[in-house]
Structure formats: structure tokens, C-alpha cells
Amino acid sequence: MNSLKRIAITCGEPAGIGPDLTIEMAQDEYEAQIIALVDPNLLHERAKLLKRPIELIEATPEKLKSKARSGQLFYLPHELAQPVTTGQLNKANSDYVLSTLQTALDGSIRGQFDAIVTAPVHKGIINDAGHAFTGHTEFFAEGAGVEKVVMMLATESLRVALASTHLPLRNVADAITKESLSQVIAITLDSMTRYFGMSKPRLAVCGLNPHAGEDGHLGREEIDVIQPVIDGFIEKGALVSGAWPADTIFNQDKLQHYDAVLAMFHDQGLPVLKHHGFGKAVNITLGLPFIRTSVDHGTALDLAGTGKASVSSLKAALEMAISMANTH
């Protein structure tokens, strides 16, 4: 049996840097079959603009277990509604973007793909086209029938999961309940075992308030919600620790004792991680019935077609997806 993994790549907003990065990524060889879900004409045109070689091979059943050589890329065709002008959004192509995501979703659920890697989309233009779209994570979670997922960003040496994601700060405390936090910790621990090969993952949990509430003087969320949940996992034998003040746990002498950190909100954890490894970080969605990784940046319309966009995050996301697929 051929154990070669099949990784689907969605190329994202066609006017942005997703096609550029896909072409640049294809200049290397990988121990997996990479299949781009894309309009091949878009990649041919962008490759000419970037002066990069690309040989596109339409994926067929007999080729599904083949590796591409440097400069080659397998693809499944999706047709753009209108020609793309580099750097200029066009809502007419929003259905095209969503169709690539739907193919990735359907193929993963059916077992045709072992993982999905996503290049950045532009949420605004998709909504302008009349689609209620809040992001990749929500799209895949809804399509897979999953109620709760966890966002994790990772570099080679630091992993940060989030108990809440894109919320106004005034709403964060209400969003962190015992039930929600228990689900997040359970998903994080299970995923670290399932996809990262850790039999007993070590998780450090941040408090919500400065100094982790300072015994209730700076807030009671740690006492009433966070600490009881942590204690419950400890009683079950899980290696969960906290609640840690965020300005303490992100010191290297503490981090070396943990495999991941759970931050309570977006800007508690991600500024540290992005300072640590921006451009090389990977966005991972935990809790889906399939593997999904993504870049840590946006569409960068101003860089599209210039050759100045760095491919490092897409390559890191691809390599992470391959590693997770092989571990799983």
C-alpha cells in the first residue's frame, strides 16, 4: 500500500499572494503529493509574471500517489468567473474561492486528502459578494459538523493555543466558561497526542487577568472558572499547569517545561508567538476531523506579482501538515 500522503492546497484570494506562494512552493520537492485546487490559467499567468517555471499536471486517479518534481505541481481545476488583475479584488471571483474550499472540505471528509493547507483569503470581498463568510475555520467547522475547534499557532519551538479568538476584549471574560475552557483544553491535549506524537503533552494555561488575578484582587475569573477546570484535568492525570500570569509563562525558563501554552485571548498569546517567529509560524485548526494548517499572514495585495512575498510561512504550513498526517 502506498503510504504517500495527499495534501490539498487552496490558493486563496486570486488577486493576492496565494498564487505566487503556491508557485514558489512548487520549486521544491516534498515527501507527499501536493494538489493545488486552482484555475491553472491563473498559475500560468502568475508564473510568467514572476518569471518562475511551473509545469502543471492535472490530478487523475492513477496519479494520486505520485510525487511532483521541482517545478511541477498537481492540480484539480477550478474555473475563475473573470480574469484576475493582480492586486485588485473582484467579488465576481468569490464563488471560485469558496468552491476551492468546498472541494478541500469534501475531499478531506471522504478521505481523498490527508490534510488541507490554506493560503489567505479576503473575507471582506467574499462578504461583499453576498456570502456570510467569517473565515476558513468557521467554514470548515460548519461543513464538518463540528461545534468546537481550537486555534493554535506554532513555530518550531513554541505552540500557542487560544481559549477565545476574534472577540472584542469586553466580551472575552464572558466567553470563557468552565464548559468552553474544558472543551478547549481537551481538544488541545487530544490533538497534541494524535498529531504531534506526545503521549503525555504538557500544557501551561494562562490566567485572564494581570498577575493571574492576584488572588482575586484583580479579578475572580481565575478563582471561579480557570483554576477549577485546571484542577479537574490534573485530577484525571493530565499534565496541565496554571493559571499562569502571561508575563511569567512566556519567559524561556518556564516555556522549556511545556509543550504548548493556552492563552485566554488573541492578543495575550499571539503577539509573543509572532514576535518569536513571524513569517515562519503556522496556523493550525484543532478539533476538525481532518488536518488543516494555514499561513500566519494575509493576502498582501500590494505584494502580489512582485516576487517580494516570502514563501516561508506557506512552506512551514505544508511541512507541518505533512508531519501531522504522517504522525496520525
For residue range 223-236, list pLDDT tens digits in order: 999 999 999 999 99
d(CA 1, CA 21): 32
Average model confidence (pLDDT) across the chain: 94
Consult the annotation and say whether 171 binds a ligand: no
Per-residue pLDDT tens over the stretch 31-51? 999 999 999 999 999 999 999
Query: Looking at the structure, do residues 211 and 114 belong to the same domain, yes or no?
Result: no
Residues 120 and 255 in one domain: no
**Residue 123 labeled ligand binder:** no
Is 166 assigned a ligand-binding role in the annotation? yes
Nearest to 311, CA basis, from 35, 22, 75, 52: 22
136 belongs to an annotated ligand binding site: yes
- Asked if residue 80 and residue 202 are part of one domain, the reply reads no
- Answer with the residue of higher pLDDT: 289 or 134: 289
**CATH code, domain with 177:** 3.40.718.10
Position 1 pLDDT exceeds 50: no
283 marked as part of a ligand binding site: yes
- Per-residue pLDDT, averaged over 154-161, amounts to 92
Do 259 and 137 lie in one domain? The reply is: no
Q: How many helices (H) and strands (E) does the chain have?
A: 13, 12
pLDDT of residue 79: 97
Total domains in the chain come to 2
Express each pLDDT in 72-96 by its tens digit.
999 999 999 999 999 999 999 999 9
- Cα separation, 156 vs 324, whole angstroms: 13
Same-domain status, 104 and 193: no
What percentage of the chain carries pLDDT values higher than 70?
98
220 annotated as a binding-site residue: no
Residue 61 has pLDDT above 70, yes or no: no
User: Each residue of 243-289: pLDDT tens digit?
Assistant: 999 999 999 899 999 999 999 999 999 899 888 777 788 999 999 99
Shared-domain flag, residues 95 and 163: no
Of 250, 269, 285, the residue at which a domain comes to its end is 285
SS3 of residue 25 by DSSP = helix
One-letter identity of residue 34 = I
Total-model pTM: 0.92
Range of the domain at 305: 1-146+288-328
Computed from CA positions of residues 317, 321, 322, 323, in that sequence, does the dihedral angle turn out positive or negative? positive
Residue 62 has pLDDT above 70, yes or no: no
pLDDT, greater one: 1 or 147: 147
236/132 same-domain check:
no
The strands making up 159-162's β-sheet, listed across from edge to edge, are 55-58, 72-77, 33-38, 6-10, 115-118, 291-294, 282-286, 150-154, 159-162, 260-263, 202-206, 239-244
**Residue 211 annotated as part of some ligand binding site:** yes
Q: Is 243 helix (H, G, I), strand (E, B) or coil?
A: strand
- Do 172 and 208 reside in the same domain of the chain? yes
pLDDT higher than 50, residue 16: yes
In this structure, the answer to whether residues 207 and 260 fall within a common structural domain is yes
- Quick one: what percent of the chain has pLDDT higher than 90? 88
Q: Are residues 111 and 123 in the same domain?
A: yes
Residue 177 annotated in ligand binding: no
Q: Are residues 119 and 131 in the same domain?
A: yes
- Do 37 and 134 have their domain in common? yes
